[in-house]
Amino acid sequence: QLQLVESGGGLVQPGGSLRLSCAASGSTLNFHHIGWFRQAPGKEREGVSCIVMSGRSTNYADSVKGRFTVSKDHAMKTSYLQMNNLKPEDTGVYFCAAIYNARSPICTIRPNYTYWGQGTQVTVSS
């Protein structure tokens, strides 16, 4: 059973950076798509970014384009979300999620993923 654990959240000032990690256990992430999502208090969960672990495709929400970068490790065990120039509106709980998909070369930031991590809190405040 694939399990995901996020880490790297914390408190950062506006303009600062954080790097989130999504580590898999129980399986590698070969042929999986990884999605990154966030949920602010009182708001619905929104897609932030995604990556095809066995390919090159990535995708970003308009609100984070140019500031966030999603990546993966060569061992196919971890995905990363590098977040730069953070803004207060980036505050929320960040989740990673995975779905097995060996067919589509393109990932989606819609929340139709199978496995979810427990989330890590990101707070952007001065």
Is there a contact between 67 and 49 (Cβ–Cβ < 8 Å)? no
- Residue-wise pLDDT for 69-116, tens only, equals 999 998 889 999 999 999 999 999 999 999 999 888 999 999 999 999
SS3 at position 89: helix
Contacts of 120 (CB under 8 A, 6+ apart): 6, 7, 8, 9, 20, 93, 94
Rounded CA gap, 6 and 24, in Å?
Answer: 9
pLDDT at 87: 98
Dist CA 72 CA 53 (whole Å): 7
User: What kind and span of H or E run contains 62?
Assistant: none
Give pLDDT, residue 74: 86
Per DSSP, the three-state class of 90 is helix
Render pLDDT for 11-58 as a digit per residue (tens, 0 to 9).
Answer: 999 999 999 999 999 988 999 999 999 999 899 999 999 999 999 899
Euclidean distance between CA atoms 43 and 45, whole angstroms: 7
**Measured between alpha carbons, how far is 96 from 8 in angstroms, rounded to an integer?**
12
Cβ atoms of 24 and 3 closer than 8 Å: yes
